[in-house]
Amino acid sequence: MISGVDLFSPNKPSEPKALSVTQLVRRMKNLLEIELGEQWVEGEVSNLRKQGSGHWYFSLKDERAQISCAMFGARKRPGADVLDDGAKVRVFAEPSVYEARGQLQIIVSKVELAGQGELQARFEALKRKLEAEGLFAAERKKKLPAFPMRIGLVTSGTGAAIRDMLNVLERRAPWVEPVLFPVRVQGKGAEREIAEAIRQMGDPEKYEIPRCDLLIVGRGGGSLEDLWNFNEEIVARAIADCPLPVISAVGHEIDFTIADFVADLRAPTPSAAAELAVPDGDELRTRLGTLGRRLSRRVAERVERLELVLENAKRGVLSRGGERLLREPAMKVDALRDRMNVAAQAVWREKVIDVRSLRRALESRHPQRLLAQQAELARGLAGRLARAGQAGLADREQQLKRLSGMLRALGPESAFERGFSITLDAEGRVVRSVDQVKKGGELRTKLRDGEVVSEVKRTESGGGQ
C-alpha cells in the first residue's frame, strides 16, 4: 500500500493519456501563431541560402540569441533585395514551428534595413538593381562640353534652386543661354514630370524646344521624403537614356539620390552644378590675355629669325641671279623627259604585242565556237540516253510480265479458286495455330467471293479441347 492505494488492485486508476509528438508540436505551433502573431524583429542576417524554388532561408541573430527564418517566394516580398549576410535588418514575421524537425522559426513577409525605414530599403533595393544592370558604370558617363552655349535646367520654376543657378551662370558665363523646363520636384507624380522633361530635352526637335548642350536636373535641399522623386526608377532610366550629358544636383552635399549615381556628373548643390557646367569668364579673359601676349612674343621672334635667314640668302646664292641658279635643274629635267619618252614607247610596244596575243586566244575560245561544240556533244548524249531508256523499258516490261504470271500462280487468289481460305484473328493477323485462338474470340475467314466473321466456341489440338 502506498498512500492508501493498492498497486495490485484491478480497480486502480488509469494513467493520464499521453500526447503524440505531432500533437505536442502542433499545439506549440498554434499557441505561438495565435498568442504572438506577426511581429517586427530586428537583427543581423547570417547563413543566407537562396533556393532554386524561390524560397530563401537565413538566420537572424544578435549578441545573445538567434532564430531561423524562412521567406517563401522571396523575390516578390517587399525589401528582399536588402537581404545579405551581415546586413542589419528589421523583418515583419510570424513565429511558427517547423513540425518535421520541431524547430522554432519565423515566417518573414517583409524586410527593411534596420534604423532606415521602408524608404531607405527601397532606395537600396533600386540602387542594387540598377547597378547590376550597369547604369552606374563609369564607361557609360558622357563627357561634359568644355564651352556649352545653351544649358537646359529641369527644376522648379519658382524655387531657390533656379535663382541660384541663373545667378551663377550670369556671373561666370553671361554668353550661355539657359533654357528652363519647369517641373514639380516634390509630391505624388512629380517623378513622371521630371522624367518626361528629360526625355523632351533629349529630343528637342520633336517637341520644338531649343537644343541644349547639356542638362542640369535637380532641386534644393529637403528630407528623404522631399527628395524621393529623384529616387524613382522612371527618373533614373530617363537620365540613363538621355543623349545629352546630365548633371544631377539634388539637395545638399550630404544628400545622395539614385539620380546622382546614374547622371554623368553629380554636383553637391544646384549652385555647384552651374559652376561645374561652365568655365569662369573672368578666368577665361585672364587666360586669353596671357595666351595673346605669349603668341605675340613668339610671332615676333619667328619673324626676326625669318628676316635673318632671308638676309643671309640675299648675300649668298640669290646674289648670283636667278637664271644661273636654274640652269642645272633645267638640264636634269630635259634628261628625265627623254628617259621617260623612251620608257613609255617600250611599254607601249609590249602592250601592243600582249593585246594581239590576247585577241588570237579570244578567237580560239570564242563563246559561239564553244557553244557549237557543247551543242554537238549534247545531241550525241541525248541520242544515247534515248536508246538506253528504250532498251531499259523493254527489259522492265518483260520482267513485269513474268512476275505477274508468278503472282497469279502462287498468290492468294489462286488458292481461293482451288477452294482454300485464309483465317485472320480480330487484329487482322493470319491464324496458323490453335494457340492463337481463344474461346469467345472473333475470327474472320477470307474466301474467293467475300469474308465470313465467326465466334470461337471451342478449340481442338491433338484431340484435346
For residue 252, tell me if it sits in a domain. Answer: yes
For residue 2, tell me if it sits in a domain. Answer: no
Shared domain for 119 and 154, answered yes or no, is no
- φ, ψ of residue 71 to 5 degrees: the values are -130, 105
For residue 171, tell me if it sits in a domain. Answer: yes
Shared domain for 148 and 278, answered yes or no, is yes
pLDDT digits (tens, 9 = 90+) for 41-82: 999 999 999 998 889 999 999 889 999 999 999 888 888 888
pLDDT digits (tens, 9 = 90+) for 157-204: 998 999 999 999 999 999 999 999 999 999 889 999 999 999 999 999
Q: What is the pLDDT of residue 3?
A: 39
Domain boundary among 101, 128, 155: 128
Shared domain for 174 and 271, answered yes or no, is yes
Tally of domains in the chain: 3
In the chain, pLDDT over 90 holds for what percent of residues?
35
Minimum mean pLDDT among 219-228, 311-320, 349-358, 429-438: which range?
Answer: 311-320
Shared domain for 96 and 153, answered yes or no, is no
* CATH code, domain carrying 68: 2.40.50.140
Structural domain boundaries enclosing 124:
21-128
Q: What is the pLDDT of residue 8?
A: 41
Shared domain for 85 and 200, answered yes or no, is no
For residue 72, tell me if it sits in a domain. Answer: yes
For residue 222, tell me if it sits in a domain. Answer: yes
pLDDT band at 14 (very low <50, low <70, confident <90, very high): low
- Mention every residue, 6+ apart, whose C-beta is less than 8 A from residue 308: none
For residue 42, tell me if it sits in a domain. Answer: yes
For residue 340, tell me if it sits in a domain. Answer: no
Mean pLDDT across the chain:
84
- φ, ψ of residue 108 to 5 degrees: the values are -90, 135
- Do residues 325 and 316 touch, judged by C-beta distance below 8 A? no
Shared domain for 167 and 105, answered yes or no, is no
pLDDT digits (tens, 9 = 90+) for 340-349: 888 888 888 8
Mean pLDDT of the 357-376 span: 77
Shared domain for 109 and 182, answered yes or no, is no
Domain boundary among 81, 96, 128: 128
